[in-house]
Structure 1
Amino acid sequence: MTEPTPAVQAPIRRLWPAPTGTPLDDDALTELYGRAEQPCLRVNFVTSVDGAVELDGYSAGLSNGPDKRVFGVLRMLCDALVVGAGTLRHEGYHAVRLDERRRAWRRAHGLAEYPTLVVVSSELVLDPAQAAFADAPVRPLVLTRAGATPPPGLTDVAELVPLGTDRVDLAAGLAELRRRGHRQLLCEGGPRLFGALTAADLVDEVCLTVAPLLAGPGADRIITGTPSPPRGMALRHVLGADATLLLRYARA
């Protein structure tokens, strides 16, 4: 998905801790979200007040200027961007590209100019011609299961990493990504991948935008799949932009 660039944005301010009346620029947001000293898997979602993950079938209906600003900062900070195959297809992901200012920040901090796209797919129902693959500035990785058959042309545009037999072994996948130097991982979903990562106790942070909307019945939640035990999270900060809240949670 191409990083959105909204024309007009409400200013973002810190509400907690230590409220600030001064709007936060991108440098301040970068410092607030930061890069962890240890390996970290961060999940980023936007939701309505009543917990919907979509409007009219797409997450874009919930997103707004402040959410898109944080979206861009989080992509700049990560080593690799992890997404489920269903979300990649449904949301129409484009190549993961950053503007020159953010590429310069990454170069200055010893990072590759672009994060690596990592797609999680058990069945490899993927289109090699999709821009996320065909136009990628860095060769994407596809975490899959052993024995899955790739469609023609996929191995020309992506590297397949087989892990597990019946399903993708996510713990082994994260270990492999970190072995390759991708220590700071950002997951943008979808809900089924979020559920699987949570069930495997692999989620270190959740960045959640709460859009000031009531979506009503019918929409999915930001997480789905096999039930797993609840896990405590600690609130790190609360940012606000008009009626939008931007929350950051980490392992308690």
Structure 2
Amino acid sequence: MRRLFPVTDQTADRDSGGTDREWSLAELAAAYAYPGPGGPDGRPGAWLRANMVSTLDGAAQHDGRSQPISSAADMRIFGTLRALADVVIAGAETVRQEGYRPARARAEFAELRQAAGQGPAPVIAVVSASLELDFSLPLFTAPLVPTLILTGAAAAPDRIAAAERAGARVVVAGDGAGVDPARAVRALAELGHTRLLTEGGPRLLGQFVAAGVLDELCLTVSPMLTAGDAQRIAGGPSVEVPRRFTLASLLEEEGFLFSRYRRD
């Protein structure tokens, strides 16, 4: 993996000699570090980052899953972003399709997380209006840290009770059946989770974009073409005026581009 554009460090040179090398996990962690308290522009509260992958023709999935369009380097960055986060937010359908399991503690990041005042692994937060989830899965029965479920005030009481019996913590972040994106971010921040990472899916990411609460997008561009009718990385409601993001860094390995954009 090599750096193409050292956007965040204007004094940095490209790798000497132009040879490729694999970045260490420590280097990746430094490259993808969250901004300090309040973010670079001084805004208080949480910092919401998204991590997504897309083919050249805009497909966010193949056969309903992201793994076929990913790569080993993409998974290294995926793991690094998780290791830096307080909480990983995912929509219920993504949890089902991707077979989500509890986040694990990784020895390589233990010291970094401890220094940042974080627990051994990020919390998984599932966004679900219906709470129609399989609470017998390890995500709920055997997480290292209790799984959160973000839902609306109109969620069925019996489903809330089932989630809590399974060991999950239910957080109300909406007045109706669904979750309000801005309220979800605030609720997580109030629980002490300020380094937020969402892995989608597309509908959830689209809601965060439309609500104007997405701070950063880490997008892997996969050198593949799939055609078909797969979803884009973000769907759902559109914004009135397209939002401008600034390129913060760009890495490359074997034709895969690993971009990081921050909103202006």
TM over 0.5: yes
Q: Give SS of 1:43's match.
A: strand
- 1 CA distance for matches of 2:128 and 2:229? 26
- 1 CA distance for matches of 2:238 and 2:112? 40
> Structure 2: which 5+ residue stretches go unaligned?
7-12, 39-45
Partner residue, 2:4: 15
Partner residue, 1:36: 35
> Structure 1: which 5+ residue stretches go unaligned?
1-11
Partner residue, 2:122: 115
Normalised to the residue count of structure 1, the TM-score between the two structures is 0.91
Q: Give SS of 2:3's match.
A: strand
Q: Give SS of 1:153's match.
A: helix
- 1 CA distance for matches of 2:253 and 2:174? 43
Query: What's the Cα RMSD here?
Result: 1.4
- 2 CA distance for matches of 1:27 and 1:165? 42
Q: Give SS of 2:259's match.
A: strand
Partner residue, 1:73: 80
- 1 CA distance for matches of 2:14 and 2:191? 39
Partner residue, 2:252: 240
Q: Is the 8 A contact 1:36 1:184 kept in 2?
A: no
- 1 CA distance for matches of 2:163 and 2:118? 27
One of 162, 174, 186 as aligned partner of 1:164: 174
- 2 CA distance for matches of 1:69 and 1:200? 30
Q: Number of residue pairs matched?
A: 241
> Which deviates more, 161-170 or 37-46?
161-170
Letter in 1 for 2:192: G
Alignment deviations for residues 143-170 of structure 1 (CA, whole Å, 9 cap, x no partner): 1011211536311221111122332122
- 1 CA distance for matches of 2:164 and 2:206? 28
One of 124, 129, 134 as aligned partner of 1:127: 134
Q: Is the 8 A contact 2:87 2:122 kept in 1?
A: yes
Alignment deviations for residues 198-238 of structure 1 (CA, whole Å, 9 cap, x no partner): 00001000000111100112111111101113100000111
Partner residue, 1:8: none
> Which deviates more, 115-124 or 105-114?
105-114
Letter in 2 for 1:232: R
Q: CA deviation at 1:114?
A: 1.0
Letter in 2 for 1:155: E
Q: Using the aligned pairs only, state the percent identity.
A: 38
Letter in 2 for 1:243: G
- 2 CA distance for matches of 1:178 and 1:218? 36
Q: Is the 8 A contact 2:173 2:187 kept in 1?
A: no
